[in-house]
Every structure is written in C-alpha cells, then in structure tokens.
Amino acid sequence: MSTFRDSCASVWSYRKVYTLMLVLYNQSEDEPVPRLKHEADAHLNGGGYCALTTSHSWLLLGLKQRGFGRGRWNGFGGKVQSDDKSPKHAALRELQEESGLDVPIDDVDEVGRLWFTFAGKEECMEVHLFMCRNWKPTGTDDSAWPCNTEEMHPRWFPVGQMHPDNDRQSGLDLSAIPFKHMWPDDRIWFHRVLNNDRILGWVHCAPLSSTDPVQSGLIGDSMKETNGLTIDPFEIPAYQLQCFPPDSEKVKILTNDCV
C-alpha cells in the first residue's frame, strides 16, 4: 500500500494537501429522519423521501456555493493549514466550518488518499479521504443537525441500509446520489469507500473536450449548472485506483489511460 502512495507523493514538487469528509447517518426505527438546522422540511434532496421512516442510511453532501468546485455536490473539506495538527484535525475543522457539525475525532477513519493532477499545471492535489460511518445528533433540537454556510448548503441523500461495524453486508443503493452534479471521478471510487474498501488513487483532470461526454465514452461532466450555480466542466482522461477490501490481502487495481 505504501509503495504506490510514496511514488505518487514524490512525483510532483508542487503538492498541496487537502481533506474530504463523508458523513453517514444510520437511522434506526426509533430515530428521526435526518434534517437540517432550522429547516425541518428541507432535509432531503427534493423532499421526495419523507416516507422512509424505517431503518435507513443517509449520506450528507454539500452543494458548493463558491470557489473551486462551485455548483457541485461534494463531501466536506479543504486545504490543510499550517496550524492543523494533522489532516484528520483539518478535516474535522473544515466539516465544522462548512456544515456546523462537531464530530469527535475517534468517530472518524481515514479511508483513502487520492492525488489529482490537472492538464497544463505542475501542481498536484493530495486529498486525504475520511469517513464518519455512524454520525448521531448530540441533542433533540435542531441545533444538533447540519446547517447552511456561506461555503456549502448540505442535504441528506438516502443510500440504502449500511452497517457501520464493517462486519455485515451492506445494502448500498446510490440511485439517489446526484453524480451528474458531482466531480466526475466520484463515479470511480465513491461506491468503494461506502462499501468499506480503502483506496489509493491518481486522477488526471482536463477541461471537457466533448459536448457529449456520454456519447464519446468519457468520464466527464454532462451538466453545466446546479441550482443556478455554473459548473466548470472537466473530464477524466486517465486514472489509476487501488482498492483494499476489508480483511483481505487481495488488491484490486483499476486503470484507464487515454493520455
């Protein structure tokens, strides 16, 4: 696992470290449907899943309001600052700043690391992936739930029935996840970390070269905006992903090299 990681980390001299956090809420039969702070009727994407009051799992995503990634649904995160004790501390800080959630550090696991390169740029983005697999509200009022911020507008998305203990088979269902309004690479690795794989990967991004990426077979953006927020379109001409299933010595390697 370390060989691929070290080789990726040493290739680019201009490397900046970032974090990305995914938060799961596993709702039992006696627990409330997830919501947002002060927005009890706006907790779900489109409000179309209010009937799901039995056991269900929910993924928290945020719609980026400004800056790099504007107009995309994503996890929560940002650049690791010099005064952050570690990438995990940075991930928790960014989560609080972007969603209002305070999560104990022991409730978070690092599930992967991704290196992003961009056409025409020497800089590399090293992204540490973290997951809180079983978030629970700390109180009974709205203040315990995530809230809109200047950076992100969060929403809960149903993802089937997940099991946070990693020892039971999960019934993952990503049909409600808005992949067309997310970064294109999310389609490559997202389901793997939600299925408890750990991942290491390299993703190369380039400006979208086709007006119809689906027809041309590209992994690329097909939407130009989300809720009025314009998306800068990208495609993924090349990537390599290594997957490490839980409790397994077998490594899965997925590649696509078109550059």
- pLDDT of the residue at 215: 57
CA distance 60 to 99: 10
Total Cβ atoms within 10 A of residue 64? 21
166 with 213: CB under 8 angstroms?
no
Cβ within 8 Å of residue 99, ≥6 positions away: 23, 60, 62, 76, 146, 147, 149, 152, 154
- Range 15-24 burial, b when 16+ CB lie within 10 A, else e: eebbbbbbbb
- C-beta atoms surrounding 123 within 10 Å: 12
Token reading at 165: 């203990």
User: Over the stretch 201-258, which tens digit does the pLDDT of each residue have?
Assistant: 999 999 998 766 555 678 999 899 999 999 999 999 999 999 987 766 566 666 776 4
Q: The tokens of 205 are what?
A: 């991004």
Q: pLDDT, tens digit, for every residue of 128-164? A: 999 999 999 987 778 889 999 999 999 999 999 876 6
Distance CA 182, CA 61 (A): 10
Spans of all domains in the chain: 2-257
Q: Rounded to an integer, what distance in angstroms lies between the CA atom of residue 93 and that of residue 112?
A: 19
Write down the CATH number for the domain with range 2-257: 3.90.79.10
